Structure 1
Amino acid sequence: MMRTKISMATLTLALFASPAVAADLPALKEPPVLPPSAIWTGAYFGANLGGIFDASSSIKIVSAPLYNDAANGAGLVGPSAFGNAVALAIPGESNASNLGVIGGGQIGYNWQFSSFLAGVETDIQGTTLSQNVKVFGSATERTTGAFVGVQTNFSKSLGYLGTVRGRFGYLVTPTLLLYGTAGLAYGGANFNNGVFVLSSLANFPTAAVSENYNDGRIGWAAGGGVEWMFMPRWSAKVEYLYYDLGTVSANAIAWGVVGSGAMLYSDYFKSSARINGNVVRAGVNYHFQPLGPAPVLAKY
């Protein structure tokens, strides 16, 4: 009987003590899911190389006579119309499409927010984008039926191109970034319009004149790309950009003076071209994390 009472007391004590003992045992929990480390946050710099080609190839040409020798100072039969013929000889449009090489460097800063990224980047590149075009037109002077020929020489080039852009992206994996970008663009544009006039008429005064535009331009650029962090602190990217620096123009006035000193004709010429195009380039960047060691790329 005494043994039975002791057994019952022991069982009762064990039942009441179990929750307290269990509370002291370590709980079995699933490991926490940690967000990917911010390996993209920080400053970076790098280099790029690629191709550049025109988006607008047309050159628009406007010409108009300023003066015709209605007084017939050239000794022609009837009023002269050389100015009209010279203006008529010029085609209204030509093409000057081209492609070249572009290369330079970039520097920027990224802020990573979990799987999203925002940043700012500036770059500057030199380009070989340049084209020379010759356009020839002809007409007939109405008074004498003489042939009038006009050759226009155009040159169009972009010496350098730079941008200051925002970047906004999404991390498909901790090391693979897809992004869009847009901002300001600037560049050094050169555009030249040269005119040479000749005729089958004896003693016809030929005229050669040129006008050049060479200045910096400001516009905009937009595009996107993909960037891969292939090892700590190093990434590679492929990027597309469209840029638009507006329209440039060059003006010229050609005239002819006969042997007596009288002016036979004068004409006004204006040519204009759009400075816009496409850039496809590859690049490599080195990333700084000044507040800590080199980032450890997450493995999954």
Structure 2
Amino acid sequence: MKKSILATAALAVSAGTALAADLPSRKAPPPVYVPPPVIWTGFYVGLNAGYAFSNNNNQLVTSAPLLPGAGIFTWALSANAVLPAQNNGFIGGGQAGYNWQFARNFLVGVEADIQGVAAGGGSRTALTGVPFAATVFFTAYDARRNLDYLGTVRGRLGFLFTPTLLVYGTGGLAYGGIRNDLGLFQFSTTAPFGVGASSYSDTRVGWTAGGGFEWMFWPNWSAKVEYLYYDLGRVTNAFALIRVPPGIGLYGATQSADRFNGNIVRAGVNYHFNWGAPPILASY
């Protein structure tokens, strides 16, 4: 009886094993790669390069006699001109800032940058003769202006169209190093000649506004394209025109006036540190 029970149990085990072998195998699916969440909140630093071109491409030069009663020289000293002086060229530098992402799709931040600018222009007029009475007056101008560096401190407000694509507006303070050089040479066929020159340099403060796109193309790395308008205000440069030989009472004043404003189109790359920033999952 015992042998019969053992034989039946062995037969059942062998039948179950054979049945299991006939069933299809079931393997666990491979793990699905989940990319790390995109983190915009935190500090970042980067580099940029682009092109700057001015809005105002002219210098207005005006002259006037300082002392009346100089006879025909009073008319000659009143020479005026509008000189072309573009202020276009390469711009490049670096930036640093901080972003804070809130309400899932919105971002606010602050950014400061400083760039060297290879932008400058000028013009030189040929001697221009103007007949007057029994003589001819000749006047020549030499004018130049340069923007040596430009920096900004701006706020940024952006919207995340996707977790990696930011569209933003920006605006704030702008500052820049400017130079203005002006020279004048004037003489007549019957009178002493006059010369004058002046060089003016300063750090001007103004404003800037613009916008751009920024793309987080790799964890911690983003690329941007940006446009900015800047305005550093109006600059004047003046000097006295002194006749040679001196002491004959023929003196004039010459002044140049131009505006340092323009546009910047640039691209840049940023590295985001994300120190201690919790991920925020944007919804779309």
TM superposition score category, shorter chain reference = 0.7 to 0.9
1:49 correspondence with 2:54 = no
Residue number in structure 2 paired with 1:252: 239
How do 1:1-300 and structure 2 match up within 5 A?
37=37, 39-67=39-67, 70=70, 80-87=71-78, 89-91=79-81, 93-113=82-102, 114-136=104-126, 137-142=128-133, 144=134, 146-201=135-190, 204-258=191-245, 262-263=247-248, 265-291=250-276
| Unaligned stretches of 5+ residues in structure 1 | 1-35, 71-79
Q: Does the aligned pair in 1 maintain the 2:194–2:244 contact within 8 Å?
A: no
Distance 1:138 1:172 in 2: 64
Residue number in structure 1 paired with 2:19: none
Query: Between the two proteins, what is the percent identity of the paired residues?
Result: 48
Distance 1:214 1:236 in 2: 35
Distance 2:267 2:87 in 1: 20
Residue number in structure 2 paired with 1:16: none
Q: Does the aligned pair in 2 maintain the 1:44–1:288 contact within 8 Å?
A: yes
User: CA 1:297 to 1:230, structure 2 compared with 1: closer, same or farther past 3 Å?
Assistant: farther
- What's the TM-score, normalizing by structure 1? 0.77
- What's the TM-score, normalizing by structure 2? 0.81
Q: Does the aligned pair in 1 maintain the 2:89–2:117 contact within 8 Å?
A: yes
Distance 1:296 1:274 in 2: 45
Distance apart, 1:227 and its partner CA:
0.3
Distance 1:262 1:268 in 2: 16
Structure 1, 174-183 or 246-255: larger mean CA deviation? 246-255
> RMSD in angstroms over aligned alpha carbons?
2.4
Q: Does the aligned pair in 1 maintain the 2:83–2:143 contact within 8 Å?
A: no
User: CA 1:86 to 1:269, structure 2 compared with 1: closer, same or farther past 3 Å?
Assistant: same
Q: Does the aligned pair in 1 maintain the 2:227–2:264 contact within 8 Å?
A: yes
Matched residue of 1:83: which SS? helix
Matched residue of 1:243: which SS? strand
Distance 2:240 2:85 in 1: 22
User: How many aligned residue pairs are there?
Assistant: 247
Matched residue of 1:67: which SS? coil
Distance 2:228 2:38 in 1: 27
Per-residue Cα deviation, 1:16-45 (whole angstroms, up to 9, x for no partner): xxxxxxxxxxxxxxxxxxxx9561000000
| Unaligned stretches of 5+ residues in structure 2 | 1-35
Distance apart, 1:263 and its partner CA:
1.1
Q: Does the aligned pair in 1 maintain the 2:230–2:263 contact within 8 Å?
A: yes
Distance apart, 1:292 and its partner CA:
6.4
Q: Does the aligned pair in 2 maintain the 1:175–1:228 contact within 8 Å?
A: yes
User: CA 1:267 to 1:189, structure 2 compared with 1: closer, same or farther past 3 Å?
Assistant: same
Distance apart, 1:212 and its partner CA:
1.4
Distance 2:136 2:164 in 1: 69
Per-residue Cα deviation, 1:200-251 (whole angstroms, up to 9, x for no partner): 22xx322221111101000000000000000000000000000000011110
